[in-house]
Amino acid sequence: MATTQGEPCLQSLDSLIATLNTIELGNVDKIRARLLEIREELEQRELTELVGKLDESLSALGRGDLQDFRRVKATIVSRLGHLR
């Protein structure tokens, strides 16, 4: 996406949802990196509640609690869907 007058390049909400939905398996460091990219996008959109939820998912991932990670990730996807 192109930026105008120094505005940050933001992914569409659909793109964020699609990215979150594809994060399931793989290298934990790569998953964490993708989540941090999404976190930055959410911060730029000033979606502080979802930033907090993403932090919860990162914490669950760090603990190896995949059930909690998936639950929180699903909550984020659902709330992003309501913002479309």
The CA radius of gyration of the chain, in Å to the nearest whole number, is 13
Tell me the pLDDT tens digit for each residue of 30-60: 999 999 999 999 999 999 999 999 999 999 9
Residue type, 8: P
Confidence of residue 9 (pLDDT cuts 50, 70, 90): low
Tell me the pLDDT tens digit for each residue of 17-38: 999 988 877 789 999 999 999 9
- CB 4, CB 74: distance < 8 Å: no
Predicted pLDDT at 11: 76
Confidence of residue 2 (pLDDT cuts 50, 70, 90): very low
Predicted pLDDT at 3: 41
| 31 CB neighbour count, 10 Å cutoff | 17
